Structure 1
Amino acid sequence: MSEKIRVLFLCTHNSCRSQMAEGWARALRAKDLEAFSAGTEPSRVDPVALKVMAEAGVDISGQRSKSLDEFRGEPFDYVITLCGSARETCPVFPGAGRVVHHGFDDPPALARDDASAEESLLSYRRVRDEIRAFVLGIPENLEEQPAGLGQFILSGGEKS
């Protein structure tokens, strides 16, 4: 069997989208993906994200919000930014790895605009399901993204 693909899902707060992506990858792709998530400004795992993932049969209650700094020096095949802010503040990665962006709507931001709690849940569920489909397509759905091939190691340098 070939080695697992190491993936780091990156969002600003590592509270919702990146947590969902890590949870889906561990639940659906454990045989071929080694998944992690982090944030450039970590906070806490969103309780509604916990709820909608549990509804789908994926328990992410053991996950925690982590800083990108915890992964300095670790090799990853892909770093996938899931929000525009993380894409803009993503540190420089030396070597020939792949840093790719695949943005998803921000469920908490959508929920602020929703008229009811049920509408908010529907927004979270929609993004949850979009992330599930994306995770199922890794790495094929990343091949269209421009980047170098190979593996890279997060540097200990300054963020750009």
Structure 2
Amino acid sequence: MKNILIVSNSDTCRSRMAQEILNSFGRGMKISTAGVLVGNSVPDVVCQVMEQNGYDFSRRKPCDVATYTQQTWDYVITLCPEAEEVQKEMQGVVRKYVSFNFADPFRGGIHADDEQEERVVALYNAMHKELYEFFRSELMEKLLPRCSCGANTYCRCE
């Protein structure tokens, strides 16, 4: 089981989306999310876009990264430059840091509903593509069960 912490600005959009996307790729991961700043609530448009893509999206309360600084993590994934400051706070408890730079769809203030949805859809598409590449290159082999000969799940030696 790989322990993964996903950190964004406020734990209301990008981190939640990334958690659901990564969970959809396979088992063997325990994924938590947090924000450098604690947000208020998950915007409705984020829930709608995720539900349109087949995810059962949670509206649980956003969490502060300080909640997780004393735990050991296999990966801490930051989704924006602002979130990279957690590396200072979590020295010694993280095996590997991975950084992405996904644009905040809410930056620049309130937008028309259609424009806001387009921004969240574009974010979802970009995140799905990049997180899948990360999963394929970094996690998939490590999460596959091994048979007694050391091969992966597709082994036919038994």
Return 5+ residue gaps in structure 1 as ranges: 144-160
- In the other structure, the counterpart of 1:158 is none
- In the other structure, the counterpart of 1:50 is 47
Q: Which of residues 30, 36, 50 in structure 1 aligns to 2:32? A: 36
Distance in 2 (CA, whole Å) between partners of 1:76 and 1:45 is: 25
- In the other structure, the counterpart of 2:114 is 118
Q: Deviations over 1:69-116 (max 9, x none)?
A: 22233221110110111113542421561112111010111674x5x3
Quick check: 2:16–2:33 contact (8 Å CA) kept in 1?
A: yes
**SS of the residue aligned with 1:7?**
strand
The question of 1:131 aligning with 2:127 is answered yes
Aligned-residue Cα RMSD (Å) equals 2.3
* TM-score with structure 2 setting the length: 0.74
Distance in 2 (CA, whole Å) between partners of 1:110 and 1:124 is: 14
Return 5+ residue gaps in structure 2 as ranges: 140-158
* Structure with bigger gyration radius: 2
Q: CA deviation at 1:37?
A: 0.7
Q: Percent identity?
A: 21
Distance in 2 (CA, whole Å) between partners of 1:18 and 1:76 is: 16
Quick check: 2:42–2:59 contact (8 Å CA) kept in 1?
A: no
Q: Which of residues 99, 107, 110 in structure 2 aligns to 1:109? A: 107
Change (3 A) 1:32 1:137: farther
Counting matched residue pairs gives 137
